[in-house]
Amino acid sequence: MNNPLLKSFNTPHQTPPFNEIKAEHYLPAFKEAMKQGREEIDQIVNNAEKPTFKNTIEAMENTGKLLNRISNIFFNLNSAATNDTIQAIAREVSPLLSEYGNDIALNEDLFARVKVVYDQKEKLKLTPEQIKLLENTYKGFVRQGALLSGEAKARYREVTAELSQLALQFGENVLAETNAFKLHITNEADLAGLPAQYVEAAAALAKSEGQKGWLFSLQAPSYMPFMKYADNRDLREKLFKAYAFRANNNNEQDNKDNIIRIANLRLEKANLLGYSSHADYVLEERMARSPQKVNEFLNELFEKAYPFARKEVKEVADFAKTLGFKDQLQRWDFAYYSDKLKTSRFKLNDEMTRPYFQLDKVKEGIFSLANKLYGLTFKRNTSIQVYHPDVEAYDVFDEDGSFLSVLYLDFFPRNSKQGGAWMTSFRDQHKDNGVDIRPQISVVCNFTPGSDKQPSLLTFNEVTTFLHEFGHALHGMLSEVTYESLAGTSVFRDFVELPSQLMENWATEKEWLQHVAFHYQTGEPIPAGLIDNIIAADQFESGYSTVRQLSFGFNDMAWHSITSPISGDAINFEKAAMEKTELFPEVEGSAMSPAFGHIFNGGYAAGYYGYKWAEVLDADAFSLFKQNGIYDKTTAASFRHNILSKGGTEDPMTLYINFRGCEPTNEALLIRSGLVK
């Protein structure tokens, strides 16, 4: 077979030739790449020379390059442009990849060579980055079972193989359940309250599916506006319950048994490796270091935020009564009445700001921000092949004009794409025989698409989401390391959100908003009064949003702090974990865990707290920009040099102190959030 995945890519910047790659190419390519990877490992193991950093650690770092390339392409598409064929291949190849990984991690002869080098690390005169690579390599073996033997080693293989399959199945079930439900409206009166663009989008969705009337889906650009604006309370309840019961409907896509099985297998894996819980295992390699520290952190913020959250929910309930609402405030009422309260209090809502946030203008504004801070420029490159017509590709250049990165932008929802927003890469930055190999970075979102009548106009939340994911992209694009496994976002999970959350701060800065917000029809700049209202509303319901985030963190820690296997009902388990954070009446049987992709299919197991942890870092870091000027090039250069360029080459607290001059405290976050009395 003439397989493009197995050839050198004769494309701009060696980007993936998406137009040539067919589904049938993947499985043979995976098998050939694993065969080559095993041969590369055998060469290291069979090397007659004594183990050295170069012939063992660096040699290992350079194995599996072909497999990495194919995996990055395939699994990125499985998230952003999947289909039944790709999903079937994923199910077939995942256990093969688990077996491949285990064959390396559990190779006793290979580990013996690594250990020889590790044991003499003090004598080797290595650079800090080389020391980090050596430590990561050694720990990677130990944390993947290298010290196991006999039955324990065999069982470890079984557990990891099953976990990879369960995670895939989890994600497929959530996507299927998200796509399966549509709220079909045929009575125009049921659209009352909804702004015109959402009605138009719903009509277009219905037309695309051969139906009359209007369709609303569980995708965020359809679901969120309906919950916020639709006057019909019964329909809000119906849509809310469809969302809250995803993968929890006692059908073939139900995830309740899956998540119990995943949690128990993660515990068993941790026990095999000598840890009392999965959280203990994970947090050994995080800034927080221990479950105790995480729980102390979550509880400290919870105690500060919960009184504010209760007060904020009561304010919404009381305001709803002034509008004639006579029932008890339910979850499907909160966004609706909260938005009306915000409009009343601050003369502000999404529909007032949306006309000023045209996607193309926001994109230009974010590009301009990257230019002001770091000197970057962006040029659309239509000769780079993309995996879907919606995707745009850019060449990114540094201040001196040198090529820095490829950037893919994929903005709009579709049935083949998972929900949410994320940054990923098709290739990470590294050096190959002294040649700087530049990265290929992708930002994937689910923004409100345009229509025949107007371009894509973003909510304020979508603007901050764009800034957030672009912060991750900068982390990838500005990487300046030697080893690919340490590049860009390859850092501790509770540190990785610092660059992304830092970028969100510009969304409430008048200087930046004046530069990006122009009315899509008239070209008029956003009124100064509206900017003032955006800034004034920045702390609106910060207690509520903080407690909501903390509830996810408590739930995550509960699933992954178990020290004995769970039996029984997954919904009751979640309820106990989140009980103290509840602010609304219980909706019997609803749950987030069966669709909580971050922790069951996304790498945030025992790590969801990291969003709040990184908020402490970003609030503290941005206070330096506020002090020196939000476009201060010296501060930006320091952040680039000490944080963005370094990837995972040093301990993150060391990197942070190098930038800030001291360790962070909660104070800046509490002040920014208005959670201090």
CB neighbour class for 548 (10 Å; exposed up to 12, middle 13-18, buried from 19):
middle
Q: Looking at this protein, which amino acid is placed at residue 457?
A: L
Nearest-angstrom CA–CA distance, 152 and 161: 14
Q: Name, in order, each residue with C-beta under 8 angstroms of 3's C-beta and a sequence gap of 6 or more.
A: 25, 28, 29, 32
CB neighbour class for 503 (10 Å; exposed up to 12, middle 13-18, buried from 19):
buried
Q: How many CB atoms lie within 10 A of CB 230?
A: 24
DSSP 13-45: GG---TTT--HHHHHHHHHHHHHHHHHHHHHHH
Question: Strand 392-397's sheet: what is its strand order?
Answer: 377-380, 392-397, 403-410, 440-444, 422-427
Catalytic residue, chosen from 172, 469, 484, 541, is 469
- The answer to whether the CB of 611 falls within 8 A of the CB of 93 is no
CA torsion 251-252-255-259 (nearest 10°) is 130
- 469 in active site: yes
Alpha helix positions (H), 143-283: 150-180, 196-208, 220-229, 233-244, 256-272, 278-283
CB neighbour class for 36 (10 Å; exposed up to 12, middle 13-18, buried from 19):
middle
Nearest-angstrom CA–CA distance, 597 and 167: 9
Nearest-angstrom CA–CA distance, 302 and 612: 11
Which residues participate in catalysis according to the annotation?
A: 469
